[in-house]
Structure 1
Amino acid sequence: MAFDYDLFVIGGGSGGVRAARITAADGHKVALAEEFRMGGTCVIRGCVPKKLMVFASGYARSMAEAKQYGWDVRVGKFSYADFQSKLKKELERLEGIYTKNAEGAGVEIFHQRAVVKGPHEVELADGSVKSAKHILVATGGTPFVPDTFEGHELAITSNDVFDIKKQPKSILIVGGGYIACEFAGIFNGLGIETIQYYRGAQILRGFDDESRGMISEAMIARGVSLHVGRDVERLEKRDDQIFVKATDGHECVVDHVLYATGRKPNTKGLGLEDAGVKLGRWGKVEVDEYSQTNIPSIYAVGDVTDRVNLTPVAIREAVAFHETVFKGNPTKPDHTLIPTAVFTQPEYGTIGMTEEQARDDRPIQVYTAAFRPMQNAFIGNDERVLFKLIVCAESRKVLGAHIIAPGAGEMIQVLGVAIKMGATKEDFDATMAVHPTMAEEIVLMKEPVRKA
Structure 2
Amino acid sequence: MADFDYDLFVIGGGSGGVRASRWAAMTGAKVGLCEEYRYGGTCVIRGCVPKKLMVFAAGFSEAVEDATGFGWKLTGSDFDWPFFIEKKDREIDRLEGVYQANMEKLGVELFRARGVLKDPHTVELSSGQTVTAKHILVATGGAPFMPDVPGAEHAISSNEVFHLERQPKRMLIVGGGYIACEFAGIMNGLGTEVTQFYRGAQILRGFDDEVRGHIAEEMRKKGIALHVGRDLVRIDKTDDGLEVTCTDGSRTTFDCVLYATGRRPATKGLGLEEIGVRLTRNGAIAVDDYSQTSVPSVYAVGDVTDRVNLTPVAIHEGMAFVETVFKANPTPVDHALIPTAVFTQPEIGTIGLTQEAARDRYDIEVYRSTFRPMFHAFAGRDQRMLMKLIVDKASRRVLGVHIVGPAAGEMIQMVGIAVKMGATKEDFDRTMPVHPTAAEELVTMRTAVGGQA
TM-score normalised to structure 1 length: 0.99
Q: Does 1:251 align with 2:248?
A: no
Alignment of 1:9-408 (within 5 A): 9-147=10-148, 149-239=149-239, 241-408=241-408
Amino acid of the structure 1 residue aligned with 2:35: E
Q: CA deviation at 1:158?
A: 0.5
CA deviation after TM superposition for structure 1 residue 240, in Å: 5.8
Matching residue's letter, 1:325: V
User: 2:410 — aligned with what?
Assistant: 410
Shift of 1:405: 0.9
Determine if contact 2:341/2:349 at 8 Å carries over to the other structure. Answer: yes
Instruction: Tell me by how many angstroms 1:379 deviates.
Output: 2.8
- Structure 1 residue matching 2:273: 3-state secondary structure: coil
**Quick one: percent identity of the two aligned structures?**
63
Give the SS at the match of 2:361: coil
Unaligned runs of 5+ in 1: none
1:114-172 per-position Cα deviation (integer Å, ceiling 9, x unaligned): 1111100000112111000000000000002111x211111110011101111111110
CA–CA distance in 2 between the matches of 1:451 and 1:228?
A: 27
**Aligned-partner Cα distance in 1 for 2:204–2:264:** 18
Contact 1:173 1:260 in 2 (8 A): yes
Deviation at 1:375, TM superposition (A): 1.1
* Structure 2: gaps of 5 or more residues: none
Q: Give distance in 2, aligned partners of 1:55 and 1:333.
A: 32
1:366 match: secondary structure: strand
CA distance in 1, matches of 2:253, 2:312: 39
Partner of 1:421: 421
Deviation at residue 380 of structure 1 after TM alignment: 2.5
Aligned counterparts of 2:104 and 2:384: Cα–Cα separation in 1: 48
Distance 1:251 1:407 in 2: 38
Q: Contact conserved, 1:22 with 1:105, CA < 8 A, in 2?
A: no
Whole-Å Cα distance in 1 between the matches of residues 60 and 379 of structure 2? 17
Could you tell me how far apart the structure 1 residues matched to 2:250 and 2:393 are? 47
Amino acid at match of 1:152: A
Give the 3 Å change call, closer, same or farther, for CA 240–36 of structure 1 in structure 2.
farther
Which residue identity is paired with 1:112?
Answer: A
TM score, norm. by length of structure 2: 0.99
> Secondary structure of the residue that 2:276 maps to in structure 1?
coil
**2 CA distance for matches of 1:294 and 1:233?**
40
Give, in angstroms, the shift of residue 451 of structure 1.
3.1
Q: Deviations over 1:80-111 (max 9, x none)?
A: 01001100000000000000001111100001
Runs of 4+ in 1 over 6 A off after TM superposition: none
